[in-house]
Amino acid sequence: MLTFAASCNSSTENKSGNGADGSAKFASEPEGATLIKRSDCTTCHKADTKLVGPSFKDIAAKYPNTEENIAKLTEKVMTGGSGVWGDVPMAAHPSLSKDDARKIVTYILTPAGGK
């Protein structure tokens, strides 16, 4: 294993703008996780601690991973709102595409990090 990792690290080809190969580390991260980091979600949410908003763990515990819940929360992330966890509203995310919002929500509701 160690030998493999070392040989992996030493192959530092620099293909500009192409992370498709050689970046196994990123490829193994669910797209939803990457999108969360790129957005502002972590300003108000953490994985397992309540911040301004509920933790992603609490959200996953409240909503089973069903098509209905994913559709509902995708909508909520895009339009924002309050009243479910308290009076503090979540900001709307109009620049987030529905596709990306759905990937994020699917990721939050899938603790194992499925697609």
Residues making contact with ligand HEC (CB under 6 A): 39-41, 43-45, 52-54, 59, 73, 76-77, 81-86, 88-91, 93, 96, 104-105, 108
Instruction: Name which of 89 and 113 has its Cβ closer to ligand HEC.
Output: 89
- Min. distance of Cβ 68 from ligand HEC in angstroms? 13
Query: Which residue do the tokens 């301004």 mark?
Result: 52
Sign of CA dihedral 71, 108, 96, 85: positive
Q: Where are the alpha helices (DSSP H) in the chain?
A: 2-10, 24-27, 31-38, 41-44, 56-62, 67-79, 98-108
Q: What type of residue is 3?
A: T
- Min. distance of Cβ 32 from ligand HEC in angstroms? 9
Instruction: Name which of 18 and 29 has its Cβ closer to ligand HEC.
Output: 29
Instruction: Name which of 13 and 68 has its Cβ closer to ligand HEC.
Output: 68
- Give which of 77, 81, 110 is closest to 96, Cα–Cα: 77
- Min. distance of Cβ 31 from ligand HEC in angstroms? 13
